A = this chain, B = another copy of it.
Amino acid sequence: MSKVTCQISMSLDGYVAGPDATLDEPLGQGGEQLHEWAFAAAAWREAHGQVGGEHNADSEVLAASLARSGATIMGRRMFSGGAGPWADDPNPNGWWGDEPPFHHPVFVLTHHARDPLALTGTTFTFVTDGLESALEQAVAGANGKDVTIGGGADVVQQYLAAGLLDELHLHVAPVLLGGGRRLLENLGEPLPTLEKTDVVETPGATHYTYRVRR
């Protein structure tokens, strides 16, 4: 059966994006530092249609995660940075390019209905009836593989608080951002309990796997 996982990079001070995120700088000030371990990895480059990169432990962690994932759920902001009606979205096809790196079905949580958007290798389906509906559709689309909650922070928090997340893959980068979007807050009551099941340590990140229990 599909597991529901999240994989996300976080600063040591708990942020998944830096302060003052904009359409031009969606990760906020300094936010790109969170992902340097990934940007350098061969597996990341391959997923993004690039060549080269390091064949290191970071790349192995990422490759394993990509191989397990059969569908992704993300929030509207992570898709395009927009929020209101699609007609007003400055970035209606998202910022993932003509050939997005997912290569599997992606479900976008939004308050604004829209027909699916099929790009090369990835179809984005827009879900307006909530977390559980998105999860059901993603499980159906994942072909037996895992469903990845991609972000942003608020979406991860909602799945954690609803008790719907099985595993948290947290990549903690050795940087401070000093502000931005925190990941581990608004997690509901009682708090989820985490069981640390694997850790891979590299210069660019500590790659934690936590099993989530409620």
Contacts and interface: CB of A to CB of B under 8 A. Distances in A.
Interface of A: 12-14, 170, 172, 174-178, 184-185, 187, 189, 191-196, 199, 201, 203, 206, 208, 210
A37 to B, nearest CB: 12
A210 B13 contact: no
A184 B195 CA distance: 23
A199 B176 CA distance: 17
Most buried by B among A170, A178, A199, A201: A178
Going nearest first, the 4 A-B pairs with the smallest beta carbon separation are A13-B184, A174-B196, A14-B14, A178-B191
Q: How many copies does the complex hold?
A: 2
Contacts of A195: 174
27 contacts: A12-B170, A12-B194, A13-B14, A13-B184, A13-B187, A14-B14, A14-B184, A172-B172, A174-B194, A174-B195, A174-B208, A174-B210, A175-B194, A176-B184, A176-B187, A176-B191, A176-B192, A176-B194, A177-B191, A178-B185, A178-B187, A178-B189, A196-B203, A199-B201, A199-B206, A201-B206, A206-B206
Contacts of A189: 178
Contacts of A210: 174
A210 B208 CA distance: 18
Nearest to A183: B13
Nearest to A196: B174
Nearest to A201: B199
A168 to B, nearest CB: 9
A203 B208 CA distance: 12
A206 B199 CA distance: 9
A13 B201 contact: no
A193 B196 CA distance: 27
A54 to B, nearest CB: 17
Most buried by B among A12, A191, A193: A12
Nearest to A195: B174
A210 B201 CA distance: 14
